[in-house]
Amino acid sequence: MNLTVAAGTILTLAGLAILVWCMAAARAAHRAGLADAELRARMQRLVAWNFGALFLSAAGLILVVIGLALA
């Protein structure tokens, strides 16, 4: 059970770190003054990373809850 909670915590923190990176990258892209098409392309890639990070965080939280419920 402790292993499940630890793995879930690691996944959650990794997902949160990627979310923070996505926010910083979006802010940098916005401030770079890119052309509209290039800004859209960069934001579309960031949206994919953002969804992946949200999934990773949610999966980690599910593991934490399962580990705590089984303890």
Half-sphere exposure of 43 (CA within 13 A, CB side): 12
pLDDT > 90? residue 12: yes
| Crossing angle (nearest 10°) for helices 36-70 and 2-31 | 170
Q: Is 18's pLDDT higher than 90?
A: yes
* Inter-residue contact 8 to 62 (CB < 8 Å): yes
* Token pair in block for residue 28: 């940098």
pLDDT of residue 71: 84
- The answer to whether residue 1 scores a pLDDT higher than 90 is no
Q: Which residue carries 């599910």 as its tokens?
A: 62
**Which pLDDT does position 37 carry in this prediction?**
93
**53: Cβ contacts below 8 Å, ≥ 6 apart:** 15, 16, 18, 19, 22
